Amino acid sequence: MATTVKHPEVSDAAASPEATSKQPERSSEKTVGGRLLSLDAYRGFIMLLLVSEGFGIGVLQHYPRWAWLAAQVDHAPWEGCKFWDLIQPAFTFMVGVAMPFAFARRRSQGATQSGLFRHVAYRSFMLILLSNLYSNWGESRLSLQLINVLSQIAFGYMICYLIMRLRFSYQAAAGLAMLAGLWALFVIFPGPDGPWSQSGNIGAVIDRKVLGYNYSGYYTTINFVGNAVTILFGCWIGMLLRTGRSHANKLKVLGACAASGLVLGLALVPYNPMIKRLWTASFTFFSAGWVILMLMAFYWVIEVKGAQRWAFPFIVLGMNSILIYSLGQIGIKGWLNSGLKNFTKDFRFLGDLGAIPQSILVLAVMWYVCYWLYRRKIFFKI
């Protein structure tokens, strides 16, 4: 669904008295159309990486000196965590960060509790619908799938909405119970190679029974449990950012949360291996530590230091993240890439490295589509 939103230029926001005043002891978050600007920039940064597929630097695997960098734009085969494994946690975490802002705005506009629930239910349903539309696009046989990032967000979005209605201590207990329950499920019903078996684990067994098939890549539907906790972490960070605390205080809390996530995630590894494809508890905490650190960087530069102009390319994508994601899912990106190759010849004179400028060129065209819509204040939302 496309909506038109009043959205002043970033340069205008940067020139406002609120943006230029320096009041270190008082929080003065810069928002655009009721949004946290640093969150839009962070979302756009993640979408930039996702759409460009890491700017094509995966080809550097053929160059021993740069193989370590190429490895970071691919998922860990099973256990462990690489940079690319943080893309989905970052995206889902940001869904949670935005929830307190979005719900507060709706309540200020007169939304009732039942109306808010209907809105959450509608969004969850539409996300699952879009997820299955994209996953079955171009396929000869239709199949229900619930592993796409949109489906995973849909489950987590509804779960976190319900949890957020509880007092904070109960929210924390619910999050811990979800992770402990997921761990117990795998331990009590181990696969042929133990609880964390690639094939035949309890998640795969459930999918085979319910869906009639298993996903490629050893993913399982019950990943949504750990994913929901990642969204819940984002909700708590969003609630923090909405408070009137000073920037310095918020950054201290964010830093403590990030450090705690990294340490706890590593501490759990001997008991609960770090497996993104199962979204284990160790991965949930460890990835949360990294995505919070990334948010801290954007928050410090944009909200605290007031440096906003550099983030404009990210904000353009962040404001239309659903659109840019959809273009990749339904094959528009592939069609665009094929068409441009007729003119660029895939930059083959650069050898394998030609994939890098080709990826950047495709990204530039897709970015311009979002920019064209941005200039006309057209944003696609659910």
Nearest to 164 by CA among 266, 265, 234: 234
* Strands 378-380 and 2-4, sheet pairing: antiparallel
Q: Give the Cα separation of 5 and 374 in Å (integer).
A: 10
User: Which residues constitute the domain of residue 316?
Assistant: 2-380
Total domain count for the chain?
Answer: 1
Distance of CA 182 to the CA centre of its chain: 21
Nearest to 283 by CA among 82, 39, 73: 82
Query: Between the ranges 30-39, 168-177, 361-370, where is the mean pLDDT highest?
Result: 168-177
- Whether the predicted model's global pTM rises above the 0.85 cut: yes
Angle at 83 between CA 95 and CA 319, to 5 degrees: 35
Q: Give the Cα separation of 242 and 101 in Å (integer).
A: 7
pLDDT band at 327 (very low <50, low <70, confident <90, very high): confident
Q: Is the dihedral of CA 311, 317, 320, 321 positive or negative?
A: negative
pLDDT above 70 (res 363): yes
Angle at 138 between CA 136 and CA 140, to 5 degrees: 80
Question: b/e map of 85-96 (b: 16 or more CB within 10 Å)?
Answer: bbbbbbbbbbbb
Q: What percent of the chain has pLDDT over 90?
A: 71
Q: Name 190's Cβ contacts closer than 8 Å, sequence gap at least 6.
A: 197, 201, 202
Least confident stretch, 29-33, 208-212, 303-307, 343-347: 29-33
- Record the tokens describing residue 312, joined without a space: 């404009």
pLDDT of residue 264: 98
The identity of residue 350, as a single letter, is L
- Record the tokens describing residue 317, joined without a space: 């994508």
pLDDT of residue 11: 34
pLDDT above 70 (res 10): no
Give the mean model confidence (pLDDT) for residues 80-101.
95
Mean per-residue pLDDT over the chain, rounded: 88
Q: Give the Cα separation of 279 and 288 in Å (integer).
A: 12
Nearest to 43 by CA among 375, 323, 340: 323
